[in-house]
Copies of this chain bind each other. A is one copy, B any other.
Amino acid sequence: MPAELHILGCGSATPTPGRNPTAQFIRLNQTDILIDCGEGTQIQMLRFRIKPMKIRHVFISHLHGDHYLGLPGLISSMHLMGRKESLTVYGPPELEEILNFQFRVSETRLNFPLQFVQTQTEGKQFLVETGGFKIYSFPLKHRIPCTGFLLMENTPRRKLRPEMMKAYQVPVEAFRQIKDGADYVQGDGTVIPNSRLTFPGMRPVSYAYCSDTAPDAEVLNVIRGADYLYHEATFLHELLERAEETYHTTAQQAGEIAREAGVGKLFIGHYSSRYRDIKPLQEEASVQFQNTLAVEDGMVIHLLPFSTDND
């Protein structure tokens, strides 16, 4: 299982019963990460029995409260629970100032190393390779500096065909390079092409996270062909004007973006608190892009690679 996505919060600025502010917990192979951390995220983790202590990396998109106000409390709880392992936070530069100021006034001296990596909104930025994935940030189009995140699984190694290893008497020492794609050169100089010696590995999977943002053509270039796209859909299209004013996206627009980017599946979320029922948002996006899921708090989604026409 390359990746497992847990929706801890799919609400927007004001929480509603059953819908917390934004947070997503993702298990990438054996590595746990968190994307955004709205107020109450650590309480949602308790509810859904997710252990915060194993989170290695936290990615914060921007400094609207519904995307980061749970972070100081989460870090403080990790400290109180005796964490020793390093934690890295990726986010806008002012986030580091906020955290440091809060730790200073509460006289908290963390027991574990807290690293901070500043994101910027100039262009796509490589952040870290972890759990078999490369993680990038990229600029979104919001009222304040904001980035999305792109998770790209490394290309899995090819699988050896045992009968070919035997037939060509390939020595064990050569296996690793062949799994990585090398041809095999026999003693007499004959080249056995890799494609004869191996099966392709599983397709790598990719996940793009876009919240909060107005629709943006430049984002399309970054997320094109992603297996999974989480895109905010704060409003129904009848509130397009409100969406434009606030630099948000409508469900119809989210569907259009998914279609134009040619993703495998669209998740929508970040619903305005005015929508008690999210079915109309799901339906509106689905008209544009059929494979849409309106996520809800507590959902767990296994991110398997899609078999697409390009395979």
A interface residue numbers (CB < 8 A to B): 13-17, 20-21, 38-40, 42-43, 46-47, 63-66, 69-70, 72-73, 76-77, 80-81, 92, 94, 97-98, 101-102, 105-107, 143-144
Contacts and interface: CB of A to CB of B under 8 A. Distances in A.
A13 B81 CA distance: 10
The complex is assembled from copies of this chain, and their number is 2
Nearest to A81: B14
A143 B107 CA distance: 8
Contacts of A80: 13-14
B98 A102 contact: yes
Given A14-B80, A39-B40, A101-B101, A144 B107 contact: yes
Given A101-B97, A105-B63, A77 B46 contact: no
A65 B69 contact: no
B73 A39 contact: yes
B46 A16 contact: yes
A105 B98 contact: yes
Nearest to A40: B40
Given A13-B77, A69-B72, A94-B101, 17 more contacts: A13-B76, A14-B77, A14-B81, A17-B46, A21-B73, A38-B73, A39-B42, A39-B43, A39-B70, A64-B106, A65-B106, A66-B76, A69-B73, A97-B101, A98-B101, A105-B144, A107-B144
B13 A106 contact: no
A47 B16 CA distance: 9
A64 B108 CA distance: 9
A308 B69 CA distance: 45
Q: Which 5 A-B pairs have the closest CB atoms?
A: A39-B73, A40-B40, A14-B77, A94-B105, A63-B105
